[in-house]
């Protein structure tokens, strides 16, 4: 059996890895680089039970457990480590707590921590680009193949997907997986697929050394007369990812063309400098943006695509893409190889739950 996976992000990498563990032939097609988009520019934060009470709970719990196991199974160091998480706010000018030292010593005065919302048992972090690359390399070392190119269509007969078209050439396949993040939207030209949207998230990465404790922060900060949520993720390699100010913007056809809004980066840098004296301009190693894939109802699309045997999709994970990638890849491998899943019920993520996008809406693209 041969499976072609369209997309070399974290979902595609994990799907390739778990398929190869089952002995399935795998070809991954990626137009840019492995982890070129959100999989390389995300925060990498993991939470075991933050999806409790939602359809994502089982997927998140299984994936959190797999994240803890994979460092023992895959070569490489992607900075997996348990961490704590805290909520709080930045006291504005005139607030009595503006000059009060923070309970976390590496933060500036007036950064008020109100509660701990994650412990080393329930929250952790990875470096997303290193994680994605390590998983892909593990799949390749087990016999998977990575091909560069842009997928331009699905090859099929009357009832079944038979392969993919890649810029004029055909790759034969018994099954095809669409895992192109927000660019999965383009696949609605070739199959019955719900809309996938892209939400742009700017971020700044600082190199502030390994001395910052493993404390993720979720803070409210007043800026320009509005309250903004800002997230801070210190990583094991000494880098710290800071993000806020997500917005809606046109999705470039080429992932390499994604750029941050300059005003958003300027505002984010000012907010970061208010949080800690460690966030100095000379410590910036990246100013970037990525588009997170989201769906109409906020749940991912994971499973078979209707009206065509052998066609599958795995995208739309929004902020939980890095977290839920291992369990998604495991479930996709089981579904393709066995026709069913064991650890995770994919019914809530069935693509058929949402109306398909009208392909004519994409013709101008």
| pLDDT value at residue 363 | 57
Mind giving me the DSSP string for 305-361? Answer: PTTSBTEEEEE--GGGHHHHHHHHHHHHHHHHHHSS-SSS--GGG-GGGSPBPPGGG
CA distance 131 to 138: 11
Please write the tens of the pLDDT for every residue from 143-187.
999 999 999 999 988 788 899 999 889 999 999 999 999 999 999
**CB contact at 8 A, 45 and 323:** yes
Range list of H helices, the chain: 10-21, 38-41, 57-73, 128-141, 262-275, 321-338
Please write the tens of the pLDDT for every residue from 116-152.
999 999 999 999 999 999 999 999 999 999 999 999 9
pLDDT higher than threshold 50 for residue 365: no
State both tokens at 108.
């500036």
Range list of H helices, 89-216: 128-141
CA neighbours closer than 13 Å in the CB half-sphere of residue 191:
32
Q: Which residue has the higher pLDDT, 353 or 250?
A: 353
pLDDT higher than threshold 90 for residue 359: no
Instruction: Give 217's strand partners.
Output: 86, 232
pLDDT higher than threshold 50 for residue 306: yes
Please write the tens of the pLDDT for every residue from 94-109.
888 989 999 999 999 9
pLDDT higher than threshold 50 for residue 230: yes
| pLDDT value at residue 157 | 85
Q: Which residue has the higher pLDDT, 156 or 15?
A: 15
| pLDDT value at residue 226 | 82
Please write the tens of the pLDDT for every residue from 44-94.
999 999 999 999 999 999 999 999 999 999 999 999 999 999 999 999 888
């Amino acid at each position: 059996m041969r499976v072609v996976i369209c997309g070399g992000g974290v979902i595609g990498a994990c799907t390739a890895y778990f398929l190869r563990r089952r002995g399935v032939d795998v070809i991954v097609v990626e137009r840019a680089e492995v982890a070129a988009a959100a999989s390389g520019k995300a925060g990498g934060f993991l939470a075991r039970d933050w999806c409790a009470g939602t359809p994502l709970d089982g997927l998140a719990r299984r994936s959190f457990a797999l994240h803890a196991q994979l460092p023992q199974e895959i070569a490489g160091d992607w900075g997996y480590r348990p961490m704590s998480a805290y909520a709080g706010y930045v006291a504005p000018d005139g607030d009595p707590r503006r000059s009060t030292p923070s309970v976390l010593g590496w933060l500036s005065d007036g950064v008020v921590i109100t509660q701990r919302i994650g412990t080393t048992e329930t929250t952790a972090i990875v470096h997303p680009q290193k994680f994605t690359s390590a998983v892909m390399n593990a799949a390749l070392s087990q016999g998977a193949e990575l091909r560069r190119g842009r997928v331009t269509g699905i090859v099929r007969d009357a009832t079944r997907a038979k392969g993919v078209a890649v810029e004029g050439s055909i790759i034969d396949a018994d099954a095809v997986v669409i895992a192109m993040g927000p660019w999965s939207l383009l696949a609605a030209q070739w199959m019955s697929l719900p809309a996938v949207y892209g939400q742009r998230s700017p971020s700044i990465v600082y190199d502030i050394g390994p001395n910052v404790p493993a404390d993720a922060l979720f803070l409210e900060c007043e800026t320009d007369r509005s309250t903004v949520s800002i997230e801070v993720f210190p990583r094991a390699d000494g880098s710290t990812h800071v993000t806020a100010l997500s917005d809606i913007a046109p999705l470039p056809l080429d992932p390499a063309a994604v750029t941050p809004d300059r005003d958003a980066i300027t505002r984010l840098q000012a907010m970061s400098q208010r949080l800690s004296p460690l966030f100095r301009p000379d410590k910036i190693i990246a100013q970037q943006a990525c588009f997170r894939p989201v769906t109409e109802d906020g749940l991912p699309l994971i499973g078979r695509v209707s009206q065509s045997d052998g066609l599958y999709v795995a995208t739309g994970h929004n902020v939980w893409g890095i977290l839920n990638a291992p369990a998604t890849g495991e479930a996709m491998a089981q579904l393709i190889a066995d026709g069913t899943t064991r650890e995770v019920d994919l019914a809530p993520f069935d693509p058929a739950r949402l109306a398909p996008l009208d392909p004519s809406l994409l013709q101008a693209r």
